[in-house]
Amino acid sequence: AQSVTQLDSQVPVFEEAPVELRCNYSSSVSVYLFWYVQYPNQGLQLLLKYLSGSTLVESINGFEAEFNKSQTSFHLRKPSVHISDTAEYFCAVKGGATNKLIFGTGTLLAVQP
């Protein structure tokens, strides 16, 4: 069975500062990894994903995540955040024969001016 751990429930950061949101997973099989973002009162939006190939994946709005198999991690980073990045971020894993996503508990990114 797979599981996902997001240790930080909330990350406060000042605007234009760098940020890293941590995600670790557990799985006995190869996995696909995802970051979803949820803005207030909205559904989940796919931010980026790792399926295969390059271990560094990027989104169109400046976020990136690196798949590290040895550390079973998929941390999300952005070098300079904006107020508009304030949202909850969910890491998810999908692996083996199952089609369901297993989500972490989410990290609230709170960007302050």
Partner 1 sequence: GAGVSQSPSNKVTEKGKDVELRCDPISGHTALYWYRQSLGQGLEFLIYFQGNSAPDKSGLPSDRFSAERTGGSVSTLTIQRTQQEDSAVYLCASSLVESNTQYFGPGTRLTVL
Shortest distance in whole angstroms from residue 82 CB to partner 1: 23
Interface with partner 1 by CB under 8 A: which residues?
32, 34, 36, 42-46, 49, 51, 90, 92, 94, 99-106
Nearer to partner 1, 43 or 113 (CB): 43
Nearer to partner 1, 97 or 113 (CB): 97
Q: DSSP E strands: which ranges in 29-101?
A: 31-38, 44-50, 56-58, 64-68, 73-78, 87-95
| Residues 103 and 90: beta-carbon distance below 8 Å | yes
Shortest distance in whole angstroms from residue 80 CB to partner 1: 27
Nearer to partner 1, 34 or 63 (CB): 34
Measured CA to CA, the distance from residue 76 to residue 13 in angstroms comes to 14
Question: Which residues sit opposite 5 in a β-bridge?
Answer: 24
